[in-house]
Structure 1
């Protein structure tokens, strides 16, 4: 992961190795070393805090120092020290990511932080009728647009607004491409408007094109709810983004709800990358 590699490179000479962001950073020790290295900050805290009370105190001091640094640039913070301290100490990954991105952007603004990083957050609530799950997507880093992104988006905008007569041709080409590869699994897609909504065909297609097997425990092969469908699509988007195939933001709910423009844009990215495999 980018942030883990960044921390380990920064603290290499201190012989500190981070393997898990939430497990290794919760007590403030490594965050303290990171601030000393990046900002030459000297904080009035113990080097090693052994008790829970002292660990929480140290983490709070570190977070307060980060807050003060960011205020020097009048940055708009997404947290309070108290709330962030509680969540990070509970090893909440989302809070830890927000904090590290803020530190990296402040002290090393030239750092090539990946853009358009989204995290799927699943909230589980116990109700009188059972467990209720809700899925949301948190944007950790903003998208950085470039001319190539804009040209791709513009092309599909034109397709749907000015060249409707060519839309069926585009669907036909992309479905032919899809079926060449999912056909190896004994599957066939007939309706591009509906059959990609649950994310299953997308995931199976990505696995076929990338030459790897997706563990069936990682996604829902027969999703029974919108939350499960969103999980599948988010996984597909994450795989495409990590592979450098998808370079623009995709809202999973758009595909789940049958947004044809978004679906075709994703399929087109796959086609552009792997069209030579059609032969």
Structure 2
């Protein structure tokens, strides 16, 4: 494998559509409430992409150092564990993307508030620092939260509540509690992608002492948990739309339900790592489709 291919693999591009789902959802909601701004959308998307790549690189590094990535691990190869990328080079890349995330976030805050000293700017700067810390601490450091079964909570918060409701606030500078419903939808589906990842890696995680929620629950209960995540994600969006005087086209996101239904059937029948792995990309893309159909329905209402 060439160095370029190794770095592209370490970036894990298939995770990026999921990262963008929350930002796009926030943009659609801002448009519906009459506060859309292209510069905020582009800057939000760029910041999110930097954060997602940072998380992927930190995960590659942290799981190798902490032993979760080893020769017996199933699933896609990790670049540090295989030796395609050295520890030192990966550390430098993590620093680079942490800085890029920070700088992009500062630009985003300025575009949203046009100030650098008011409480809103300071609050979002702190949220940005927390997002960078969360991206790195999932598997890095002495006490990574991903090794204690807390990854799902952080994914729900940052991919859902912060990603959707936070970006919505950047457009509108108003608090709308109803936005937490579609924000929860994206957060729950994002937690579903992590759950799939952990179901795929359950054997190697057990061997490495990585106590993910799947390791704690067991595969059977993790599948039930997965079903709940997907179903509740759909219900929360249905509730959001139902609470407004929308036309039937507002429920256009229902067109995506067959993809989720197929996915749940596959997960229910899955028995080995190779069964779970393809579903990560499919659930991520289904989530993005869900968001676009939801946004289309809002715009046509």
| Shorter-chain TM-score tier | 0.3 to 0.5
In proportion to residue count, which structure has more helix?
Answer: 2
TM-score normalised according to structure 1 size: 0.35
Quick check: which one's strand share is greater?
1
Structure label with greater radius of gyration:
1
Task: Give the alignment's TM-score, normalised by structure 2.
Answer: 0.33
| Higher relative contact order, chain-length normalized (CA < 8 Å, sep 6+) | 2
